[in-house]
Structure 1
């Protein structure tokens, strides 16, 4: 006489367990939803989709939503992070860098000061840059933006993907676009590829003319990252040759680049704020 109640009890337990697992999975998948909503709403595409502008004033009006998202990032423990797959870790770190950069801008804005903030570099001092400020509570300690980028992402040795330079955003016009959506583990590969093509194909920052390839200073500052074997690229030239269409390289230029006969020139960087007025 106990068979039916026992079956019902077991079935109910399965439902509860399944519901919990689904809820946990959804929570993990939706971690960046609120950040995604802010980006969708306040990041505007310009320059034929090569660049974006950010309505920092509008984000400041929704500062509570941004802070709630940042708090959710802070709540992630090192052990939780370590248990994730690499794409989820990298998406988390890129989103954290970008969101805390936006926080640095909006937390220093007032209606009076807003027009006077011309560059994120204005938020530094003579002795330190804004990227060296330790104001980011992440993975159990207070960190700087530099630490997120150079230690957790680049210096960890885990990811070895130079395309991250087209995903992290320094709130400047010279920087690759702040993407209009959050990075996710599921879409990370396609997002990084799109960001790379988006940046390389911008002829205001990367252009081939006759026997000279003029490129962003990003490739000067972080040249070593593009020479660590990503998809077989052991030189900067080999990395560029993975994207001939984006750079609009004709066959003769591709050959010259392959033979190291093409001059690579680094352009000046525009540190003006990527602000939507």
Structure 2
């Protein structure tokens, strides 16, 4: 390697050093590490997501964007499949690995990479007041037999409670109600106007949609930056994968995951999404935030509801699994098609996710970003890998994700003998994002593919003009352990 390898004390008894460049929670990385452990071969692990320079250097050295990438001393072995192909069926090292073991390891060290620190928000000054109000008995059903609004309260009822039970002056109570609404503890049921004394009905944000997976509990912390919170959520989810992924990296024990302490910590953190400020985010911040939250919400939905097993269940899953974010309800469909695709119709949708006047339109991207399709993971085996997305580098990361997806044959396969180009079903479902015709679609694929023999082969086939496009079947099977 032309840059330093990490030192690993457990390797001192070996003549060689194995280094695994990986991403936390990646199934293929976990499979490779489990395989190495089974061989009794210690390794040094480097998380490429913690340092962008390491990620870029590994790509330059290997020509690959995927993980894991495994080195024995300075020799690049490849990915998980490459590693396992080097080892004979009887569990002993193949001659190639035996030979590499005799090499002396490098004494150079890679700079230490700082560990991720969880977000710790401060408790909001109004949190205790809201908790007392919840138990006051004032929150109840309001309305007539024609329309009933459950779990609501009027402006006058809140003011009366603040005056009678908390000793506020009338003006102080009114101003407190306005501040509570500004801080998104509750919202107007009709979606209009500010807080006022009178019969207008309000509902706590946590009661706005009790089917949302982070509802029913007060977000007691003061809001933190959206990008910071989304990263914390993602890291906890990846930690869950690391703890509950099978040794071969193919299945996840969601039942055990649900009962883990890490999952409880994740649920506590997800509650804090309720009152985030979203409207001031930049395009890059929206991209990183909503990609991370989408991937986390899918896993949360799998834990709470189980993986969808047929077309109808998938429809209900993606249109029903939701979070309360910034005072609004966002389903998986809302996040993907409403926000990240610039409010375009999704697969099987007759209308756009957000109608005119919908407050969520204010956070939607101005236009669709095609590369998000290689970042969103819906929990099926055919999905792209889960990665970390940061607002500062999101465009570069999306470009890398697209290249990595197109490197695999399940993303794009070129068969020059048959003049055939086989593409993932993703390109058919969201063809409008890539181009109106097959020719425009293929041109987009060629432009976004990393330099490789496959890219050269594709361009040569496109130059001939006589080719056929076939869309591959999508693997909807879940990685859930039965």
Contact 2:380 2:478 in 1 (8 A): yes
1:174-185 correspondence to structure 2 within 5 Å = 174-179=382-387, 181=388, 183-185=389-391
Contact 1:253 1:262 in 2 (8 A): no
Does residue 70 of the first structure (1) align with residue 266 of the second (2)? no
Tell me the CA shift for residue 54 of structure 1: 5.3
Does residue 149 of the first structure (1) align with residue 336 of the second (2)? yes
Q: Distance in 2 between matches of 1:97 and 1:218?
A: 17
SS of match in other structure, 2:294: helix
The alpha-carbon distance between structure 1 residues 28 and 139, as it changes in their structure 2 partners (threshold 3 A), is closer
Contact 2:406 2:449 in 1 (8 A): no
More helix, by proportion = 1
State the match for 2:396 in structure 1: 190
Tell me the CA shift for residue 145 of structure 1: 1.0
Q: Distance in 1 between matches of 2:227 and 2:290?
A: 15
Contact 2:227 2:285 in 1 (8 A): no
Match for residue 41 of structure 1 among 226, 229, 239:
239
Does residue 201 of the first structure (1) align with residue 388 of the second (2)? no
Contact 2:446 2:455 in 1 (8 A): no
Q: Distance in 2 between matches of 1:123 and 1:100?
A: 19
Q: Distance in 2 between matches of 1:148 and 1:29?
A: 15
Aligned residues: 229
SS of match in other structure, 2:475: coil
Q: Name which structure has the greater RCO, CA cutoff 8 Å, separation 6+.
A: 1
Q: Distance in 2 between matches of 1:251 and 1:205?
A: 16
State the match for 1:17 in structure 2: none
Query: Who wins on radius of gyration, i.e. which is larger?
Result: 2
TM-score normalized by the length of structure 1: 0.70
Deviation track 1:125-158 (CA, whole Å, cap 9, x = no partner) reads 49x4311115322232223211111112112452
Q: Distance in 1 between matches of 2:313 and 2:457?
A: 47
State the match for 1:16 in structure 2: none
State the match for 1:83 in structure 2: 280
Deviation track 1:148-206 (CA, whole Å, cap 9, x = no partner) reads 11112112452532010011110000111122x3x220121222122111111112442
Q: Distance in 2 between matches of 1:121 and 1:246?
A: 38
The alpha-carbon distance between structure 1 residues 244 and 149, as it changes in their structure 2 partners (threshold 3 A), is closer
SS of match in other structure, 1:213: strand
The alpha-carbon distance between structure 1 residues 125 and 241, as it changes in their structure 2 partners (threshold 3 A), is closer
Q: Please give the root-mean-square deviation of Cα atoms over the aligned residues, in Å.
A: 3.3
TM-score normalized by the length of structure 2: 0.42
Tell me the CA shift for residue 276 of structure 1: 7.0
Tell me the CA shift for residue 238 of structure 1: 1.4
Q: Distance in 1 between matches of 2:445 and 2:325?
A: 34
Structure 1: gaps of 5 or more residues: 1-23, 45-50, 110-118
The alpha-carbon distance between structure 1 residues 52 and 148, as it changes in their structure 2 partners (threshold 3 A), is farther
Contact 1:200 1:247 in 2 (8 A): no
Does residue 271 of the first structure (1) align with residue 473 of the second (2)? no
Structure 2: gaps of 5 or more residues: 1-221, 243-248, 344-363
SS of match in other structure, 2:414: strand
Contact 1:207 1:247 in 2 (8 A): no
Q: Distance in 1 between matches of 2:279 and 2:384?
A: 28
Q: Distance in 2 between matches of 1:249 and 1:84?
A: 38
State the match for 2:195 in structure 1: none
Deviation track 1:205-258 (CA, whole Å, cap 9, x = no partner) reads 421111111111000000111128xxxx99211111114446743645314325
Q: Distance in 1 between matches of 2:231 and 2:378?
A: 21
Q: Distance in 2 between matches of 1:203 and 1:273?
A: 20
Q: Distance in 2 between matches of 1:198 and 1:171?
A: 18
State the match for 1:96 in structure 2: 293
